[in-house]
Structure 1
Amino acid sequence: MRRGHCTRRARLAAAAAITAAPGLSLASPPFPTARPITLWVPWPAGGATDITMRLLADIASRHLQQKVIVDNRPGAGGTMAMPILQQAEPDGYTIAQIPQPVLRVPYTQRVLWDPVRDVTPIIQISGVTFGVLVLGSSSFRTMDDLFAFAKAKPGELSIATNGVGTTPHVALEELFTARGLKYIHVPYKGTAEQLLAVETGQVMVGVNSTGFAPLVDSGRLRLLATLAAKRSPRWPTVPTLKELGFNIVAMSPYGLGGPRGLPPAVVATLHDAFRKAMFDPAFAHEIGKYDQELEYLGPAEYGAWIREQYAKEKLVVERMGLSREAADAARAARR
């Protein structure tokens, strides 16, 4: 009797210890049943990226059998979600879109996060088509027209981008500053407000991603060139910058990432759901409206791309004099 009593007490004590232990499966429900997942999108609501991300999240929700809520955090060239990701618990309930500026900004500004150290890659989804845009009634009809104006009236050509240190901004620096031409850079938080500024004449030129497609198709904006590797089937008469003799090709691939230390099983669950979502015909149709194509990479391949691209961005920033050290030196020289 005493022996059986002791055995029962030992079993009960062991069970209580397992139940109380933090992080064990008995103490927490399996992912993602506990609560909705938040997907942080570092661009304003209403733009092309926001619209497509919301559709992707909605489709992924069905496969996860859990709601994926999109939350916007615009500003800082598309990097505002990074501090959130850095501080989030690695439980899968906080993820973010990872645009290419995330891999560039640590070299141009002082930030507390690191895109390799602080991100667990989940999936690469797509890239964008960037274009140089003017008002449909503008007298600018070619890139040469822009250069001629900038040469004749230094510092009067106003050009909008979606932020300091973004891919369009880097392309502008290479197009203009490297050739000794001055322009006024007008950064915006996102695509929608930047396109509105071009359309209403607040700025003379915009360099933007494919949220411009409907406006170009309607004739309200004119597309002078794209930053793609080849001409778009949608606008076959519009040249690429590469065709025009500029060694600039930019598609700015993006994907999804979670906080550092995200468990492999959680990564696999999220990857599988979002992979199904991105290949859903409804999503493919939606990004097709903005001249985007699917550019799938799994977690390992996407992680390798992030590391490789992060190293390349350092070389680009240094070559163009955009590093934070160069900025500090320029400020010191002005004092």
Structure 2
Amino acid sequence: MRQEHTIDVPRRRFLAGGLACAAAGAMGSAAWPGLARAGSFPDRPITFICPWPVGGTADQSMRALCQVVSQDLKQSVVVENRAGAAGMIGVRALTQAKPDGYTIGQIPISVTRFSQLGMLPLDPRTDFTYIARTSGQTFGIAVLANSRFKSLQEMVSYAKAHPGELTYGHAGIGGATHVGMEEFAMAAGITLTAVAYRGGAAALQDLLGGQVALLADSSSWAPHVQAGTLRLLATWGEARTPRFSDTPTLKDLGYNVVVEAPNGIGAPKGLDPAVAQVLEAAFKKAVESPEFKQVADRIDAPVMYLDGTDYQKYIASVYDHETHLIERLNLKALLQSS
């Protein structure tokens, strides 16, 4: 009996330990299902919604990031362009997707404005899962090389003498290029006529074709400026861009206007935190990669990385700024008249 007892005790301990492990495993997958899912995420291709047309600077930036993320996660990240309404068509599609990590996309910073204008039925401070802020954009005002305007000051003088005569192309009503140009016009005391396009690439083509006098856009104009077919009158950043250091900023010229509109990556509200962590780590690596830096330098997109938590805080601060900007520009009336 004594021998049976000495054999049976460790045996019972082994069986009890096995049952405990099994119970813990069952409880783990039931109580923390996200951890189990994140362990195999992603196990199929991811769709990335880009709310801008193919070929624009934002599209180029997002495609470069998605390519690196695809290599890191060992799954395809398929870019799907859903352009229109100054980026809001793509944003709406993102909000309607299942929050499982398999549909993500770029969230333009202008969501902070459109939500307050009633054009986007959500609160961007709480209704997305933010993954990362990636890079900014270099906005500027460009004209044809044979334009009468050799400087921004000459353009402003002409516009004051001929209110409303000068037309400018931009990437969509209420978007960064539209609102930024109107903010500048207000600061300069001039009136310009805005012409909206579905994206900066289309606006650029009409400038090159002489259909509009000015272009307000991110750096789609850059290769044409370097080639000598366009002239850059001013950029809109806090500081001059390295590649075009001879071109003044609006602040250099005495206008207290700064527009950078950084790009961000997000997912629908309700994404599992463990899945969000996988995506956040992958996009952080992508932003820091030499492949992305090469593209960012080419399109004059300064890296402005923030993780998901800090990016959400940034969104909240921009939301407050936009509240005042909407009032100052009387933007609701401007949109209605457009």
Q: Is the 8 A contact 1:97 1:256 kept in 2?
A: yes
CA offsets, 1:81-130, max 9 Å, x none?
A: 22122211111011110121111112234322221222111011000010
Task: Determine which of 278, 287, 291 is the counterpart of 2:300.
Answer: 291
Shift of 1:177: 4.2
Uncovered stretches (5+) of structure 1, i.e. residues with no partner? 1-13
Provide the C-alpha distance between the structure 2 equivalents of 1:217 and 1:31, rounded to a whole number of angstroms. Answer: 47
Tell me the equivalent position of 2:90.
81
Secondary structure at 2:116 match in 1: helix
Task: Indicate the residue corresponding to 2:133 in structure 1.
Answer: 124
Query: Counterpart in 1 of 2:205?
Result: 196
Which amino acid in 1 is paired with 2:63? R
Distance in 2, Cα, partners of 1:97 & 1:65 = 21
The amino acid across from 1:41 in the alignment is C
Q: Which amino acid aligns with 1:211?
A: S
3-state secondary structure, aligned to 2:110? helix
Structure 2 equivalent of residue 111 of structure 1: 120
Deviation at 1:26, TM superposition (A): 11
Q: Tell me the amino acid that sits aligned with residue 235 of structure 1.
A: F
Q: Which whole-Å CA distance do the structure 1 matches of 2:38 and 2:188 have between them?
A: 59
Change (3 A) 1:145 1:46: same
4+ aligned runs moved over 3 Å, structure 1: 23-31, 177-180
Classify the secondary structure of the residue corresponding to 1:38.
strand
Deviations 1:195-254 (A, max 9, x none): 111111110000110222111111111100000111222112111100111000111111
Per-residue CA distance 1:158-201 (angstroms, 9 max, x = gap): 01111111122122222324655322100111121111111111
User: Cα 1:263–1:194, aligned 2, differ >3 Å: closer, same or farther?
Assistant: same
1:56 aligns with 2:72: no
Structure-2 residue corresponding to 1:270: 279
Partners of 2:36 and 2:151 in 1: CA distance = 64
Q: Which moved more, 1:227-236 or 1:296-305?
A: 227-236
- 2:277 partner letter: A
Counterpart amino acid of 1:72? N
**Structure 2 segments unaligned to the other structure (5+ residues):** 1-22
Partner Cα separation in structure 1 for residue 111 and residue 216 of structure 2: 19
Q: Pick from 58, 69, 82 the counterpart of residue 78 of structure 2.
A: 69
Partner letter of residue 133 of structure 2?
A: Q
Q: 1:21-65 CA distances to partner (integer Å, 9 max, x unpaired)?
A: 9x9579978543342111111100111221221121011011111
Equivalence for 2:17: none
Q: CA 1:178–1:247 in 2, change beyond 3 Å: closer, same or farther? A: closer
Q: Distance in 2 between matches of 1:327 and 1:134?
A: 24
The answer to whether the 8 A contact 1:85-1:119 is kept is: no
CA contact (8 A) 1:130 1:226 kept: yes
Question: Counterpart amino acid of 2:62?
Answer: M
8 Å contact kept, 2:46–2:102: yes
Residue 245 of structure 2: SS of its match in structure 1? coil
Whole-Å separation in 1 of the counterparts to 2:96 and 2:106: 16
**2:263 counterpart (230, 254, 258):** 254
Could you say what the CA RMSD is over the residues aligned between the two structures, in angstroms? 2.7
Structure with bigger gyration radius: 2
The answer on whether the counterparts of 2:38 and 2:274 sit within 8 Å (CA) in structure 1 is no
8 A contact 1:212–1:290 mirrored in 2: no
Distance, in Å, in 1 between the alignment partners of 2:255 and 2:38 is 54
1:165 correspondence with 2:177:
no
State the match for 1:9 in structure 2.
Answer: none
1:227 equivalent in alignment to 2:236? yes
Q: As a proportion of its length, which structure holds more helix? A: 2
The alignment's TM-score, normalised by the length of structure 1, stands at 0.86
Q: Secondary structure at the match of 1:253?
A: coil
Aligned length: 315
- 2:41 equivalent in structure 1: 32
Rounded Cα–Cα distance in structure 1 between residues aligned with 2:134 and 2:36: 34
Amino acid at match of 1:227: W
Aligned to 1:176, what secondary structure does the other structure show? Answer: helix
Query: Structure 2-normalised TM-score?
Result: 0.86
Q: Name the CA distance, whole Å, in 1 between partners of 2:250 and 2:262.
A: 18
Q: Which runs of structure 2 are paired with 1:317-332 in the superposition (5 Å)?
A: 317-322=326-331, 324=332, 326=333
The answer to whether the 8 A contact 1:225-1:240 is kept is yes
Relative distance call for 1:241 and 1:283 in structure 2 (3 A) is same
